[in-house]
């Protein structure tokens, strides 16, 4: 037990720091006082005792290109084979346990999901899948103190100081408008909050008070579910349009055309690429390549696929959300059919 404790201390390497002595922080506090009429003594008290976590700083440290020896590269190739990236990714994000939990999460919050889907037009299984990928339906929302981490990332040297300074400003504004103690909020190492892991700027832009208690609380299922749906809707979700479909191509590995969510094609120009099932989508498509151990899996991504990437700028992320949503919907339908047959 003692060894575990020592290891955790080394891992997090945290110690308190008084940031009020730094000129940048003094300017930052003055800005908050001027723009939001926050009390200077209150802010100085907040910034005078900040626990500095080194883990986030290591993650966002400036990137340095390191030249590897042939032996180092060979070892990396053994540890991280060239192929199979999607196999590893989907094993973590789309497994039977997460599908089962997703069904239970929707059933538990049935009235909320029904009302949210009616209002925003985003299918419940996609909202649930995003929350499932982000926090395993609220079971892993993060244990880092958001204020301390944002201060650390805003004012200690790293490659995203400007971004985190903006997030810290938004977070403190939220603490003022939503009336919470910024020292008490826990989240991810980067300051993401709640079931949907909203950054403070997104919290303010897309957060919804769906339970009508006068506060936007993304740790609550009602507000979190509605806020995720609102985020997706405002980024362009098209009701009753598809997300993605798998396509066939010649060979086991796909080369020659640029893949990813940023590049679009007219389907008429994609000779030799055919949907594996009927697909009536008329818009431009993206080619999404999933790198598997034995072959590349290729998909068409529609506009709604691109919309999901606005939540997290990754084709693998959007595909994980899509496939998890499809599996959740399928399991729910199978359970419904079973109940009908039994009755």
pLDDT digits (tens, 9 = 90+) for 39-70: 999 999 999 999 988 877 787 876 666 666 76
* Of the options 3.90.1570.10, 3.40.190.10, 1.10.530.10, 3.40.50.2300, the CATH number for the domain spanning 83-140+238-343: 1.10.530.10
Q: What are the structure tokens assigned to 106, written together?
A: 């929707």
- Cβ-contact 173, 216 below 8 angstroms: no
- Name the nearest CA neighbour of 60 among 167, 161, 198, 192: 161
Q: Where do you find CATH 1.10.8.350 in the chain?
A: 11-58+141-234
Burial category of 336 from C-beta neighbours within 10 Å (exposed 0-12, middle 13-18, buried 19 and up): exposed
Query: What confidence category does residue 73 fall into, taking pLDDT thresholds of 50, 70 and 90?
Result: low
Give the residue among 237, 234, 193, 250 at the shortest CA–CA distance from 217. Answer: 193
Where in the sequence numbering do the catalytic residues fall?
Answer: 134
- pLDDT at 2 (0 to 100): 43
* Higher per-residue confidence, 2 vs 249: 249
Three-state SS sequence of 197-254: CECHHHHHHHCCCCCCCCCCCCCCHHHHHHHHHHHHHHCCCCCCCCCEEEEECCCCCC
Residue with tokens 């540890």: 79
* Whether the model pTM is above 0.85: yes
Gap between the Cα atoms of 217 and 185, Å rounded? 11
**In this structure, what DSSP letter does residue 285 have?**
B
247-270 confidence digits (pLDDT tens):
999 999 999 899 999 999 999 999
Encode pLDDT of 104-137 as tens digits. 999 999 999 999 999 999 999 999 999 999 999 9
Q: Higher pLDDT residue, 174 or 204? A: 174
Q: Which residues of 93-123 are buried (b: 16+ CB within 10 A; e: fewer)?
A: bbeeebbebbbebbeebeebbeebbeebebb
Cβ contacts of 211 within 8 Å, gap of 6 or more: 220, 222, 223
CATH tag for 11-58+141-234 (out of 1.10.8.350, 1.10.3720.10, 3.50.30.60, 1.10.40.30): 1.10.8.350
For the chain, where do the domains classified as CATH 1.10.530.10 start and end? 83-140+238-343
């Amino acid at each position: 037990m003692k060894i575990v404790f020592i290891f955790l201390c080394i891992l997090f390497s945290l110690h308190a720091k008084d940031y009020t002595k730094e000129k940048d922080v003094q300017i930052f506090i003055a800005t908050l006082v001027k723009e939001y009429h926050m009390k200077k003594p209150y802010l100085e008290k907040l910034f005078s005792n900040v626990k500095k976590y080194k883990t986030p700083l290591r993650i966002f440290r400036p990137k340095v290109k390191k030249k590897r020896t042939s032996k180092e590269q060979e070892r990396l190739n053994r540890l991280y084979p060239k192929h199979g990236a999607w196999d590893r990714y989907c094993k973590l994000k789309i497994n039977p346990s997460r599908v089962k939990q997703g069904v239970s999460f929707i059933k538990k919050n049935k009235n909320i999901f029904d009302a949210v889907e009616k209002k925003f037009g985003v299918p419940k299984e996609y909202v649930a899948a995003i929350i499932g990928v982000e926090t395993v339906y609220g079971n892993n929302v993060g244990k880092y103190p958001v204020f301390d981490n944002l201060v650390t990332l805003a004012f200690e040297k790293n490659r995203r100081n400007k971004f985190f300074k903006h997030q810290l400003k938004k977070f403190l504004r939220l603490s003022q408008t939503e009336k919470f103690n910024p020292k008490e909020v826990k989240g991810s190492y980067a300051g993401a909050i709640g079931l949907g892991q909203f950054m403070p700027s997104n919290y303010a832009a897309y957060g919804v008070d769906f339970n009508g208690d006068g506060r936007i609380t993304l740790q609550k299922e009602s507000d979190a579910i509605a806020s995720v749906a609102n985020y997706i809707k405002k980024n362009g979700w098209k009701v009753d349009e598809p997300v993605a479909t798998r396509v066939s191509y010649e060979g086991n590995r796909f080369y020659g055309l640029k893949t990813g969510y940023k590049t679009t094609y007219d389907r008429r120009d994609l000779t030799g690429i055919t949907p594996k099932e009927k697909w009536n989508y008329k818009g431009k498509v993206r080619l999404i390549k999933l790198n598997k151990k034995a072959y590349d899996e290729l998909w068409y991504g529609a506009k709604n696929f691109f919309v999901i990437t606005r939540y997290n700028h990754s084709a693998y992320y959007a595909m994980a959300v899509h496939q998890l949503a499809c599996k959740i919907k399928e399991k729910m339908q199978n359970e419904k059919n079973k109940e009908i047959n039994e009755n």
